[in-house]
Amino acid sequence: MAPAATRPTDGPHGLDPAIVWHDLECGGYRADLPLWRELAAATTGPVLDIGAGTGRVAIDLARHGTSVIALDRDPVLLGECARRARGLPVRTVLGDARELELKTPALGLCLVPMQTVQLLHPAGRVALLHAARAHTRPGGLLACALVGELQLFDESLHVLPTPDKIQLGDVTYSSQPTAVRELDAHFVLERRREICRGGHRTVQQDVIRLDRVTPDAFELEAQAVGWQPERPRQIPDTVDHVGSTVVMLRG
């Protein structure tokens, strides 16, 4: 349910760059998949994947035998998810999780991976909690990943993380993290995105803001909506990704 990003026009090879950037910056993340598989195996009926993007989680769960409803507000990313999920038990739904109106029986499990809830301001988080509560059966589970403290840096340090790169035909995409900053109640993540073909290069800055919300604070927001917090789960750090806390909320 990540907000739709401002994107350039289709790349020179015909693929929308939004799909490439999403896969390049998010698609390789695997550390959370064992937890989502475990939770899905313990429930019945379809699982709702909120902020599904191109299907990183939804397709993995479907390949392990789970029926999935993949929800995202970005039609380009969701269309790619539908294309990749052909033949698998994945139903794509275009929409905003804060205004969720699924025509489906009550769900046993809703997942919100990749710090999606931190892209929302407090009122937006509360709206998502209400909407998910309305679509979850008694005893159902809402599991939301939250990133903790991030290591701050910027280009003045002269040593930046290794950029993510991919070659598609004669086109090279490169996504270089350039800064993580603190701004009021947010973390601000900055990247420099470059598309190179032959001697031609285009550069675009990408900026994402994550609310600094702790698991305890999020649990309090959820309790006010009627959720009952359970013991949170931890997703460990990897070489390339910071770990996260998964807040577990029972309906």
CATH number at residue 135: 3.40.50.150
In 3D space, the residue among 18, 7, 171 whose CA is nearest the CA of residue 81 turns out to be 18
d(CA 15, CA 87): 22
SS (H, E, C) 115-172: CHHHHCCHHHHHHHHHHHHHCEEEEEEEEEEEECCCCCECHHHCCCCCCEEEEECCEE
Residues 113 and 136 in one domain: yes
- Answer yes or no: is 43 within a domain: yes
pLDDT at res. 4: 33
Least confident of 38-47, 55-64, 155-164, 223-232: 155-164
- Answer yes or no: is 12 within a domain: no
Residue ranges making up the domain that contains 163:
155-209
Residues 162 and 225 in one domain: no
pLDDT at res. 14: 57
Q: Is the predicted pLDDT of residue 12 greater than 50, yes or no?
A: no
Residues 144 and 198 in one domain: no
d(CA 61, CA 141): 16
Residues 97 and 142 in one domain: yes
* Secondary structure letter of residue 55 according to DSSP: T
pLDDT (tens digit, 9 = 90+) per residue, 118-177?
999 999 999 999 999 999 999 999 999 999 888 889 888 778 888 999 999 899 999 999
Q: Is the pTM of this model over 0.75?
A: yes
Asked whether the beta carbons of 104 and 69 are under 8 A apart, the reply is yes
